[in-house]
A and B are shown apart, each in its own frame.
Chain A
Amino acid sequence: MNQFQYVRAVSSKTAVATLAKDPSAKFIAGGTNLIDLMKNGVTAPQKLIDINNLPLAEIKKQANSLYIGALATNSGVADNKLVLQNQPLLAMALNAGASAQLRNVATVGGNMMQRTRCYYFYNTDLPCNKRQPGSGCGALEGINRMHAIFGFSQQCIAVHPSDMCVALAALDATVLVSRPKGDRKILFTDFHRLPGDHPEKDNTLAKDELITGVEIPDNSFGKNIHYLKVRDRASYAFALVSVAAALNIKNGTIKEARLAMGGVAHKPWRLTEAEKALVGKPASEETFKHAAEIAMQGAKGFKYNSFKLKMAPNTIIQALKTASATA
């Protein structure tokens, strides 16, 4: 690990101002990913700006949405009454992520900012365009069992590792951002990006911006939600494939649907076409199978991850079945 300066921010304003001045500085909140990256030499910030003292941990109900501060911890959100009442899918996704110990310190903002767990990104003497642009993609012809089947480029086939973000993408959340010029909002589905020719950029957050919170619009999915994560062990394992599903079913007919996948792309993979295929149809296995087929259009597997081409639609169907049955 490199040597670095450590400062504590007293307000969002000073935090972003400090960051703007120093190109190699980084915010630190829970640090559950950043510290690992620093220990492995993947990143070497000269300055860490500790934002834990900022008043951004609140969770509150607003007129048409739920507000969650960026510094709310993963376990704090997952256990929160307002979240459980209004956005149980989010709580379910959070509880599927990491381990209890990590969830106790990891924050909502940090969860969004966590970086891929691609082996080649973590091992500094292996090629990785995300870590070192131009060095090549180690995973493309390497050990790519955990990797993308959607939206990848020749530069990068890594996936975003978050579970929480899959739920937030499905739930049409909005990211609240603070910056020197004032605040702005980013649609959650626009927050993370596809690798294209710049896999070093995970998201659309500018260098001098700070995530302050997320807003999730109210919905009427009720208990017809499910987050299904397929993984190699029962806890503390990243998704091979995960699916966030939410349905609004009236008299057996699907009125509204939200569907997103994790473990398949560089960003939480929202399945809008499949959602459209669900709306107006009976909540039946046949409908779900059809939606899964549409969801999988354009998917492509690599040497070690082609199993996802079957596992992903199976998981979509299973998640929809479970979501529709829990009314």
Chain B
Amino acid sequence: MKKQDFFNLEAVEAMDRVDGRLKVTGAARYSAEFPIPKLTYGVLATSTIASGKIQSLDTKKAERAPGVLAVISHFNAPKIPGYSEGSNPAKGATTKGQPLRIFSDDIIMFYGQPIALVVADTLERAQFAAGQISAQYQKADFQTDFDGNVSHADYPAQAKNRNSTGDYVRGEVDAYKKAPVKIEAEYVIPTEVHNPMELQSIIAVWDAADKVTVYDKTQSLKGAQGTIAQAFKIPAENVQVVATYVGGAFGNALRTWPHEIAAVMAAQKVGRPVKLVVNREQMFTMVGYRPYTWQKVSLGATADGKLVGISHEVIGQTSAYEEFTEGTVNVSKFLYACPNVNTSYKILPLNVSTPTWMRGPGEASGAFALDCAMDELAYQLNLDPIELRLRNHADIDPERNLPWSSKYLKECYQEAAQRIGWFKRNPKPRSMQSEDGMLVGYGMGTGSFSAGRSAATASIQMSADGTYTIQCATTDIGPGTATAMVQIASDVLQVPADKIKFQLGNSSFPKAPSQGGSSTVSTVGSAVTAVCVSLKQKLAALAAGQGESAAVKPADLVFENGKISSKDQSINISYTDVLKKHSLPSLDATEESRAGAERQKYSFYSFSVHFVEVHVHPATGQVRVKRVVSCADAGKIINQKTAGSQVIGGAIGGIGMALMEEAIMDNRFGRYVNNNFADYHVPVHADIPHIDAVFIDKKDPYINPMGSKGVGEISLIGMAAAVANAVFHATGKRVRDLPITPDKLI
């Protein structure tokens, strides 16, 4: 087949979402919305202590309440077969490294831990009955206070098991100390909760004694399938997971959580389908969160602004029963050229539920500290923050000592700086005022995240009527996955987008990895490309084989506008006519695609920069973000519109992180006090100005056939630093503990 240059995509770059209309009309069906006959409703009762044992549980009133089918607790829960495998069930706060085994014993390890599940014939009746359950506890000492327990932080067992600390050293340890110019600063990010609009939802339907279908809010169909199959000791193919639409997740649906296992178990026990949707309060304790994180960044530089040393220490919170680690220190290893870098990552177990990845994840926390520290260093050196970054631009990946696959970070700085008018500002802190008397500040931050590609398989079926259906067990948590895949297929196949359907959200489709880590377009897009190429080869073989001149080889054929032709025009036939001539009702292909040796030769990252202008009220300390320019180097952008929306969403997440988000713990009780949408603040429309989302839009030559890298994480990573740096420029005040609320600025 003649090599064609795919993915110019000019014609379809701003294609509307294929599911846009379904979403805005309410026709898109989310996990909790599937109409299932004989459905019952589960509601969880949760612990009101942070540590101890359940002494007794009074469930009589709940059991007698109208409509109740079952009240399940550790006293009567059927054994989850998979729980008896491997290590022993978690026994209190000392056992590490195991997910919570719901309803398997009387141990309470965090506030809000499920203690019972009520199943009733209506949601209201289940809620009422759950409220009738009362527990007696034997309370134990607990620790939820991060600051008060920092001395108990330790290296993760994962690292210690390898007889290592996991510390990273390049060059000399703490070389910053010897540098002529240095800064040392501590930063704190409080617990943040993903809080997507859609609550965590599951409907479990047992189709046979060993066969179950779950309509599950998940970012990982195969992950959910495997976890449920393992728990109930049934073959994976007997578990069907459906997640046709996902209403936001930001990482919290990457895992299958313990209460979801309970819903599947409950459906088995009551012999009817069970729907379990956690409430907003439970979203704070049952489905992960961004861990409370303390960081210290120390930078040393020469007088002319060349970095001499970076030291980055991190302590992140985890639960008492399971270790969670993330890449908080990662950015310090590669973002800037620096001969000496050392990082240290410790975790602090507390009586809280287990954290999980939240958009950007650790890299977003780390970049906040690193890029605020860079700003502090720039001011100390009396250098423009962009100039400092340019002087320390990493021309190759300094961590892996490999060339970048592609990197247009300098272009990002230039484009975004120009758009926001960076060089017109007076860089002196507290020097600028708006006409209405507000303190004006400009700030910037850099983001970067690994541009991944893993293995995925896609199938395609071409019908005789010229329509194409592609299937892959990926999800769409909001970025517009199906839209991008249709565009890719349209480009490779050379047929109009409206002839192509991309089906996702079902575990019975060919396998794909979790939708996380900004790699879906890269991974699934490659599989879609491969399967479309495969289909074209089949069409070519059929067309060439029956052509007048047998001399034409399939490789000499050209594919254009749904037609196959040879140079000499001895072959000129539409795809559909190929099928017709061979009396084929359809033509299928299935292909797997994975990364290759290029991963060893190059370092793959996406890059972003964020520039913001803030106005701060000098008397009240209120911060308003007035302008945002985010510029991303994410390779070839498949769809400017949906990718732009992702960048806007990430910027909003970053503004929330910088100015508002904080789950507040009352350490006397070990519980969050603001576990609702009125008190846990995320930005509202009035907080968000126009966000200018810009792409460099240049192909990465090595990553995948499309040349596309991800934008999900980089649109948030670096944003909080940009806001914090802008607040410093406006006020002269450096706030190092997020969120930057008005009380910290007066």
- Contact status B683-A318, CB under 8 Å: no
A19: min CB distance to chain B, Å: 24
Question: Which of B621, B624, B664, B743 has the most A CB atoms < 10 Å from its CB?
Answer: B743
Cα of A315 to Cα of B741 in the assembled complex, Å: 16
Further contacts, 13 of them, CB under 8 A, given A228-B620, A318-B619: A1-B131, A117-B679, A123-B673, A141-B668, A231-B742, A233-B681, A233-B686, A234-B686, A307-B742, A311-B746, A314-B746, A315-B620, A318-B620
Minimum CB distance partner of B621 in chain A:
A311
Q: CB of B469 within 8 A of chain A?
A: no
- Contact status A235-B685, CB under 8 Å: yes
Given contacts A232-B741, A233-B660, whether A311 and B673 have CB atoms under 8 Å apart is: no
Given contacts A143-B664, A236-B684, whether A123 and B671 have CB atoms under 8 Å apart is: yes
Partner of A1, one of B127, B685, B746: B127
- Contact status B746-A307, CB under 8 Å: yes
Q: CB of B48 within 8 A of chain A?
A: yes
Chain B residues with a Cβ under 8 A of chain A: 48, 124, 127-128, 131, 617, 619-622, 624, 659-660, 664, 666, 668-669, 671, 673-674, 676, 678-679, 681, 683-687, 741-743, 746
Contacting residues, chain B, for A3 (C-beta < 8 A): 128
Contacting residues, chain B, for A2 (C-beta < 8 A): 128, 131
B549: min CB distance to chain A, Å: 70
Cα of A314 to Cα of B622 in the assembled complex, Å: 12
Given contacts A235-B686, A311-B743, whether A1 and B128 have CB atoms under 8 Å apart is: yes
- Contact status A240-B124, CB under 8 Å: no
B68: min CB distance to chain A, Å: 14
- Contact status A117-B684, CB under 8 Å: no
Minimum CB distance partner of A119 in chain B:
B673
B195: min CB distance to chain A, Å: 14
Count contacts on A: residues with CB < 8 A to the other chain: 37
- Contact status B684-A307, CB under 8 Å: no
- Contact status B687-A233, CB under 8 Å: yes
- Contact status B666-A143, CB under 8 Å: yes
Cα of A228 to Cα of B621 in the assembled complex, Å: 13
- Contact status A235-B743, CB under 8 Å: no
Cα of A236 to Cα of B128 in the assembled complex, Å: 29
- Contact status A314-B619, CB under 8 Å: yes
Query: Would you call the interface of chain B mostly helix, strand, loop, or mixed?
Result: loop
A324: min CB distance to chain B, Å: 14
Interface membership of chain A positions 36-58, coded 1 if the CB is closer than 8 angstroms to chain B and 0 otherwise? 00000100000000000000000
- Contact status B673-A142, CB under 8 Å: yes
Q: CB of A59 within 8 A of chain B?
A: no
Question: 13 A-B residue contacts at CB 8 Å?
Answer: A99-B684, A119-B666, A141-B668, A142-B668, A228-B620, A230-B617, A230-B742, A235-B685, A238-B678, A241-B620, A314-B746, A315-B620, A318-B620
- Contact status B620-A237, CB under 8 Å: no
Contacting residues, chain A, for B742 (C-beta < 8 A): 230-232, 240, 307, 311
Cα of A92 to Cα of B518 in the assembled complex, Å: 44
State which residues 118-168 of A face B: CB under 8 Å. 119-120, 122-123, 125-126, 138, 141-143, 145
Cα of A99 to Cα of B686 in the assembled complex, Å: 11
- Contact status B128-A307, CB under 8 Å: no
Q: CB of A317 within 8 A of chain B?
A: yes
- Contact status A233-B684, CB under 8 Å: yes
Cα of A230 to Cα of B732 in the assembled complex, Å: 21
Cα of A243 to Cα of B12 in the assembled complex, Å: 53
A240: min CB distance to chain B, Å: 6
Cα of A119 to Cα of B669 in the assembled complex, Å: 13
Minimum CB distance partner of B124 in chain A:
A1
Contacting residues, chain B, for A1 (C-beta < 8 A): 124, 127-128, 131
Minimum CB distance partner of A146 in chain B:
B679
B155: min CB distance to chain A, Å: 32
Contacting residues, chain A, for B660 (C-beta < 8 A): 232-233
Given contacts A2-B128, A310-B746, A311-B742, whether A119 and B620 have CB atoms under 8 Å apart is: no
Contacting residues, chain A, for B128 (C-beta < 8 A): 1-3
Minimum CB distance partner of A308 in chain B:
B743
B124: min CB distance to chain A, Å: 7
State which residues 178-196 of A face B: CB under 8 Å. none
State which residues 272-327 of A face B: CB under 8 Å. 307-308, 310-311, 314-315, 317-318
- Contact status B678-A317, CB under 8 Å: no
Question: Which of B617, B624, B673 has the most A CB atoms < 10 Å from its CB?
Answer: B673
State which residues 17-43 of A face B: CB under 8 Å. 41
- Contact status B679-A317, CB under 8 Å: no
B681: min CB distance to chain A, Å: 5
A114: min CB distance to chain B, Å: 12
- Contact status A119-B668, CB under 8 Å: no
Contacting residues, chain A, for B669 (C-beta < 8 A): 126
Minimum CB distance partner of B677 in chain A:
A236
Contacting residues, chain B, for A310 (C-beta < 8 A): 746
Cα of A307 to Cα of B620 in the assembled complex, Å: 10
Partner of A142, one of B624, B666, B681, B743: B666
Contacting residues, chain B, for A143 (C-beta < 8 A): 664, 666, 673
Given contacts A143-B673, A234-B684, A318-B620, whether A125 and B746 have CB atoms under 8 Å apart is: no
Contacting residues, chain B, for A117 (C-beta < 8 A): 678-679
Contacting residues, chain B, for A141 (C-beta < 8 A): 668
Given contacts A119-B674, A126-B669, whether A234 and B619 have CB atoms under 8 Å apart is: no
Interface membership of chain A positions 192-211, coded 1 if the CB is closer than 8 angstroms to chain B and 0 otherwise? 00000000000000000000
B127: min CB distance to chain A, Å: 6
Contacting residues, chain B, for A119 (C-beta < 8 A): 666, 673-674, 679
Cα of A302 to Cα of B684 in the assembled complex, Å: 29
- Contact status A145-B687, CB under 8 Å: no
Minimum CB distance partner of A236 in chain B:
B684
Contacting residues, chain A, for B743 (C-beta < 8 A): 145, 240, 307-308, 311
Partner of B619, one of A126, A145, A237, A317: A317
B45: min CB distance to chain A, Å: 12
- Contact status A231-B622, CB under 8 Å: yes
Minimum CB distance partner of B665 in chain A:
A143
